[in-house]
Structure formats: C-alpha cells, structure tokens
A and B are shown apart, each in its own frame.
Chain A
Amino acid sequence: AIQLTQSPSSLSASVGDRVTITCRASQGISSALAWYQQKPGKAPKLLIYDASSLESGVPSRFSGSGSGTDFTLTISSLQPEDFATYYCQQFNNYPVTFGGGTKVEIK
C-alpha cells in the first residue's frame, strides 16, 4: 500500500498567517490526491481533489499543488474557523490510503 507522510504532524499559527502542509507519497501517484479538513467531533470535509481542484463552496484561501510524490496544502491567510486537523488521501493505487494528519492549533 502507498504510504502518505504528512508534515508537520502539528503546528501552531496565528490568525492571518500563511500555512503550508506537506504530504509525501511513498511512490508516484500522479495528481490523484485529495485534502480534507476535520474539526473535533465532526466528519472530514473535502477541500481539494485532483491535487489542486478546489471543491465547490470552499474558500479560495485554500489551495493545493503538487504531483508525483510531493504535495502541499496552503492556507493563504489563516482564519479562526480553519483551526482543525487536515488529512491527505491518495486514490491512484488500491487500496485508498490516508495520511496521518496535521493538526493546526492556535498560537
């Protein structure tokens, strides 16, 4: 199975900061990557699919980039509602796998 390694596993940031989260795949997955946001006690919410396509209704401060093995999720200006845990997911190879998550906390 393809392993997805997210870094950092957690970070502290302030409102207005630019935040970048990395997801590295153990082998190439083209652009078959999605990003999710999960708040405590809630289900994950799709943010980005196909590595860089913004899901409808998701604020434009979220963006995704990358292909092959290295991917990034960027929040251009962190808002109070963005404090959450973020997961990447690959769907290029069976089985589908998720990264370990990155928790974004308030500084």
Chain B
Amino acid sequence: QLQLQESGPGLVKPSETLSLTCTVSGGSISSSSYYWGWIRQPPGKGLEWIGSIYYSGSTYYNPSLKSRVTISVDTSKNQFSLKLSSVTAADTAVYYCARCITMVRGVILNWFDPWGQGTLVTVSS
C-alpha cells in the first residue's frame, strides 16, 4: 500500500532554512487524483496545514506561512520537498507529509490520507 516517509535534519539553527523531503512508495506521485501536502504539529499542540503540491508543480500555501515556504516536486524520484526559511523556535514541530485527495465535487484540496510517520524538527542554536 502507499507509504510516505519524511527525511531531513532534526536540528536547524534560528534564521536558517528548514529542508525536508517526503519519499512516496507503493504508488506514483504523478497520479491525477492527488495533491501532496505538508502539515506540522508543535509539541503538545494541534495540526497546521503548511501547503500542498500537484505533480505538475501547482502549489497552494497557507497564507500564514506563504512568505517563507517553498514546496517542490521531483516526479523522477517520487518525492516532494519542503523548504521553510528564516526559522525561529516557533517552527519547532513534528512535520508530516501526506497525500491529499483532490477534485472531489470541484474542491481542489480535500482530506489527507495516508500520512507519513512524521519527523521532529527542533529549531535551536
């Protein structure tokens, strides 16, 4: 079945750029039925959608993070990536990648399933 796996540094210094990659296995990232997204969860807190990307490169970002976020896709490697610039301690969180069902009754971004296991990124000097 489809699996997603996040990878990247677990520690990032303040003001630097957080970079994570999500590798998709058991299915193609180039499916027309899905977007691919990043969601984060600060320790002990709730979930925040960061952004989503289609295999063609079309992106949607959360307006609260848009100025600092870049999501890209590499269909040859079946991967998509997240870059978050100018990080602070407030960006410390578990970062999840997930598949997002698209174009249900004309809605581009729908629910997320499945999710990767998540990776903790700590912002600290």
Query: Which residues from chain A sit less than 8 Å from chain B, CB to CB?
Result: 1, 32, 34, 42-46, 49-50, 55, 87, 89, 91-92, 94-101
Query: Which residues from chain B sit less than 8 Å from chain A, CB to CB?
Result: 46-49, 60, 62-64, 96, 98, 101, 104, 107, 109-118
Docked pose: A89 CA to B110 CA in angstroms:
9
Docked pose: A99 CA to B41 CA in angstroms:
12
B47 near A43: Cβ-Cβ < 8 Å: no
B107 near A32: Cβ-Cβ < 8 Å: yes
Given contacts A95-B62, A100-B46, contact A46 B109 (CB under 8 A): no
A94 near B110: Cβ-Cβ < 8 Å: no
Docked pose: A87 CA to B110 CA in angstroms:
15
CB-defined contacts of B109 to chain A, threshold 8 Å: 91, 94, 96
- Of all chain B residues, the one with the shortest Cβ separation from A93 is B107
A43 near B118: Cβ-Cβ < 8 Å: yes
| Main SS class of interface, A | loop
- Of all chain A residues, the one with the shortest Cβ separation from B101 is A49
Docked pose: A32 CA to B48 CA in angstroms:
17
CB-defined contacts of A1 to chain B, threshold 8 Å: 63-64
B46 near A101: Cβ-Cβ < 8 Å: yes
B107 near A92: Cβ-Cβ < 8 Å: yes
A43 near B49: Cβ-Cβ < 8 Å: no
User: Which residue of B46, B60, B114 contacts A94 across the interface (Cβ within 8 Å)?
Assistant: B60
Given contacts A87-B46, A98-B49, contact A44 B115 (CB under 8 A): yes
Distance in Å from the Cβ of A68 to the closest Cβ of chain B? 16
CB-defined contacts of A92 to chain B, threshold 8 Å: 107
B111 near A43: Cβ-Cβ < 8 Å: no
